[in-house]
């Protein structure tokens, strides 16, 4: 049964003491939705890369794939990859994402 059919809403989750706020409940719901649907993560990463000008590294992090796989997905979806950061801040973010991916790989 869908919760919508049972007339359950975010306010009910807060009122029941499960969450402290509707925002917290929504955040958890979105996390679960994206965790359970990797294709949604990829669509989101592609969209954000194309429209918000995030880096390939950040897009890969959102999609949960390596940099090379992200690049391939961009090309497959007709999106031209940008290979150089445009600002110092973008370069720093790329470095943080790369370090995080390396650390995760090393822990496996």
As a whole number of angstroms, the distance between CA 70 and CA 59 comes to 7
pLDDT value for 104: 82
Global pTM reads: 0.67
Question: Where are the chain's structural domains?
Answer: 1-36, 38-107
Looking at per-residue pLDDT, the higher value among 47 and 88 belongs to 47
pLDDT value for 5: 64
Distance of alpha carbon 18 from the chain centroid: 25
- pLDDT digits over 5-41, tens only? 667 788 988 999 999 999 999 999 999 999 999 999 9
């Amino acid at each position: 049964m869908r919760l919508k059919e049972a007339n359950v809403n975010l306010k009910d989750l807060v009122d029941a003491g499960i969450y402290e706020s509707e925002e917290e409940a929504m955040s958890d719901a979105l996390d679960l939705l994206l965790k359970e649907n990797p294709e949604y993560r990829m669509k989101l990463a592609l969209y954000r890369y194309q429209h918000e000008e995030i880096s390939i590294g950040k897009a890969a992090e959102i999609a949960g794939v390596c940099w090379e796989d992200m690049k391939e997905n961009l090309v497959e979806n007709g999106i031209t990859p940008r290979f150089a950061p445009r600002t110092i801040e973008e370069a720093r973010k790329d470095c943080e994402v790369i370090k995080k991916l390396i650390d995760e790989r090393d822990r496996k």
